[in-house]
Amino acid sequence: DLRMSRGLGDVYKRQLQEIIQRNPEESVTYILIDESGPDHDKSFTVEVRLNSNVIGKGTGKNKKRAEQMAAKEALMLMGEEI
């Protein structure tokens, strides 16, 4: 994704957080659910949860990237422009 390659790597998480903050009783958490592959080529899978409901899932070469992909999926499922 072009935005991530330009150093704006937290754009999806930030956008998701801004949406969720409109409802103060809601909380978002990122949970590492899988880590696989050899040390030099790991793959991480993260779920993003709204309260206890999974709203997105993402995979990446590091935890931060996986969190971004999970947030991106959540935004897409919510019908948000990204």
* pLDDT values of the chain reduced to their tens digit, one per residue, 82 residues: 444 444 556 899 999 999 999 988 999 999 999 999 999 999 999 999 999 999 999 999 999 999 999 999 999 999 987 7
Which residues lie across from 44 on neighbouring strands? 35, 60
The pLDDT, as a whole number, for residue 7 is 54
pTM of the entire structure?
0.85
* Phi-psi domain of 79 (left: phi exceeds 0; alpha: psi -120 through 50; beta: other): left
